[in-house]
Amino acid sequence: MSSGQRRELALKVIASNITSPLGCTTEVNYRAVREGRTVLRQHEAGERGVPFRFCASLFQEQPEFEELAFQSASEALMQVKESVDLSRTVFILSTTKGDLGTPLGTTATAIACRLGIKSKPIVVCNACISGVAAQALAVNLLRCQTYDYAVVTGADVITDFIVSGFHSLKALSAEPCRPFDIDRTGLNLGEAAATVVICRDDNDAKGLFFINQCALTNDAYHITNPHPQGNGCLSAIQQVTAGLDISQLATINAHGTATMYNDQMESKAIERAGLSSVPTSALKGYYGHTMGAAGLLETILTARGLLDGIVIASKGYSEIGVSGKVCISDKEQTVAGRDAKQRSFVKIISGFGGCNAALLGTVGDDMTQRNHCYQYHAVLAAQTTISSTNSDVTELFHEEIVKKTDSYPRFYKMDAQCRMALVAANRLIDAETDREHTAIVLFNRCASAVADRKFAASISDVNNYFPSPSAFVYTLPNIATGEIAMRHGMISETSFYVLPDNDDEMMQQIVNATFQNKNIHRIIGGWIDCRDEEHCECELKIWRREE
């Protein structure tokens, strides 16, 4: 297929698994949710090393991260073991923190090897949207025919690090959460793993559901708060539903964290998208916020419910507490049978760093809705390299930014990695940069190791416990992309990937895959890695899409 030539392709999920405190298979979890069960409960001070009471959904014994992710992935693969060509398969791991004691690339490589997958794995670290972002990457890699199959696993384990971080942001509720409810007081955390196996439609395996479209956007508004009118979420919804007959849309599964700002924002985005009458569900009342697993777990359950013609009830919801017009499912709703036309769903999710994602899926065997696939070539247009100490970067900031524009005091609040990213990106972004169609895609091997150590030190002594919200935010590596987006008003995709090493070929694969989104004309990105405060390396480039 020549450059820019379009062809039609359906991407289907052929196996899934959910491993959670409610059970270790998708079907067990699905039955539990339909029965209204949850293990969200209050945990006493001292549990998981946390010096205060908190409400969460936890396994009886704290699982080991690698083992949890592996068990979910292997269970999904066992369902299609004979039909999956592991030599043409990519393993993608979605997580927010993983195992803090082991580099994420090392963990992902170990899991891939145990699964028998020989290609280098990819870790998606895009805060709360990681699970949907990982599915989007898988779909785009398959569109490019780089692989025939993708095993996408999302997982997170709840530790004192994570609970303390959300506690410092005053985001936790002491009671089971109540998404979209007038009496909601915050989120609960939960641990789980979830996996989908995705393949192209030239495989004969039976599909559970199809992934039609995915979109990632940024608010460019605030690092921790979403845009009040849901601009980024709205854009993602509009991209995946463009050309869709809305009468085919059976349900929307919302992020529904039960925080004041997120639920309000989502309600406005849904209303502005013209989807106020579509039944909307939120699943955090069953599982809490499972972070890296959330976008996968909630997509799987939404599709599974739709196979039975139902929208799962939003546990904890009673009375509307948002101003946007939205139809929250307070009890299980029947929408359509297998032969009716309402078989599509939208999954939306948002996260720190201003990131948003949406996924359009369809259940059943009809493949009339297919992905448009293009063979684009990413052409290098410009690049810049910085390899220096933190003090050098601060000096560069003064020389290249402060003297030319304004002081931008946010710079001094950032961690070393974000400072490096901002200075390098500032060299490549100018007045002519198309803010709406330029994506930001960064890679490294250390995730947010420097910020992790700083925050961990703040909670290491229970007698001198002082978790800092500003320090916690930078333990999410994608905040670097968010800082660039916010500084320069960039509202297209922002993504952060962790690789086992600085691999130009793998980065090029992901850049080419990102260009499968026709709304992206250019990409600013590259390698940025800080092993400590004084030693950072950065090489950012601009790629343009060649038709």
- In what helix (H) or strand (E) does residue 65 lie, and over which residues does it extend? helix 65-78
- State the pLDDT confidence band at 2, using cuts at 50, 70 and 90: very low
Alpha carbon distance 138, 155 (integer Å):
16
Residue of 139, 216, 261, 272 whose CA lies nearest to 490? 216
**Tokens read off for 52:** 């205060």
Strands 89-94 and 189-190: unpaired
Q: Which residue has the tokens 């909601």?
A: 184
User: Mean pLDDT over residues 74-102, rounded?
Assistant: 91
- Give the DSSP per-residue string, 351-376: EGGGEEEEEEEEESS---S-EEEE--
Q: Which residue has the tokens 């038709």?
A: 547
Of the listed ranges 163-172, 218-227, 393-402, 425-434, the one predicted with least confidence: 393-402
φ/ψ of 11, rounded to 5, equals -110, 125
363-397 pLDDT tens trace: 976 544 455 555 666 777 767 776 655 556 666 66
Which residues are CB-contacts of 444 (< 8 A; sequence separation ≥ 6)? 417, 477, 498, 499, 527, 528, 529, 530
400 residue type, one letter:
E
User: Mean pLDDT over residues 280-309, rounded?
Assistant: 97
Alpha carbon distance 196, 154 (integer Å):
9
Question: Comparing 496 with 421, which gets the higher pLDDT?
Answer: 496
User: Mean pLDDT over residues 232-248, rounded?
Assistant: 93
Question: Comparing 409 with 419, which gets the higher pLDDT?
Answer: 419
- C-beta of residue 388 within 8 angstroms of C-beta of residue 537: no
**Tokens read off for 421:** 């990213």
143-163 pLDDT tens trace: 988 899 999 999 999 999 999
Strands 279-281 and 355-363: unpaired
Of the listed ranges 136-145, 432-441, 458-467, the one predicted with least confidence: 458-467
pLDDT at 5: 47
Question: Comparing 529 with 269, which gets the higher pLDDT?
Answer: 269
State how far the alpha carbon of 493 is from the alpha carbons of 176, 220, 268, 489, in Å.
Answer: 33, 11, 21, 12
Alpha carbon distance 279, 334 (integer Å):
10
Q: Is the pLDDT of residue 272 over 90?
A: yes
User: Mean pLDDT over residues 115-144, rounded?
Assistant: 96
Of the listed ranges 166-180, 299-313, 371-385, 426-440, the one predicted with least confidence: 371-385
pLDDT at 374: 56
Q: Is the pLDDT of residue 524 over 60?
A: yes
- C-beta of residue 516 within 8 angstroms of C-beta of residue 377: no
- C-beta of residue 63 within 8 angstroms of C-beta of residue 290: no
Q: Is the pLDDT of residue 299 over 80?
A: yes
150 beta partners: 90, 198
Torsion of CA 105, 108, 110, 114, to 10 degrees: -160
φ/ψ of 530, rounded to 5, equals -120, 115
Torsion of CA 132, 282, 479, 268, to 10 degrees: 110
- Give the DSSP per-residue string, 243-283: T--GGGEEEEE------HHHHHHHHHHHHHTT-TTSEEE--
**Tokens read off for 132:** 């949907």
- In what helix (H) or strand (E) does residue 469 lie, and over which residues does it extend? helix 469-473
DSSP character at residue 61: S
pLDDT at 338: 43
Q: Which residue has the tokens 């220096």?
A: 388
Which residues are CB-contacts of 141 (< 8 A; sequence separation ≥ 6)? 90, 147, 150, 509, 510, 513
Cα end-to-end span (Å), the chain: 12
Give the range with max mean pLDDT: 104-113, 332-341, 449-458. 104-113
Q: Is the pLDDT of residue 292 over 50?
A: yes
Strands 522-532 and 438-444: parallel
Alpha carbon distance 349, 262 (integer Å):
10
State how far the alpha carbon of 463 is from the alpha carbons of 73, 147, 457, 460, in Å.
Answer: 40, 51, 13, 9
The mean of the pLDDT values for the chain is 90
- In what helix (H) or strand (E) does residue 161 lie, and over which residues does it extend? helix 160-168
- C-beta of residue 107 within 8 angstroms of C-beta of residue 98: yes
- C-beta of residue 452 within 8 angstroms of C-beta of residue 475: yes
Residue of 92, 89, 84, 153 whose CA lies nearest to 118? 89
Of the listed ranges 38-52, 300-314, 326-340, 502-516, the one predicted with least confidence: 326-340
Distance of CA 252 to the CA centre of its chain: 17
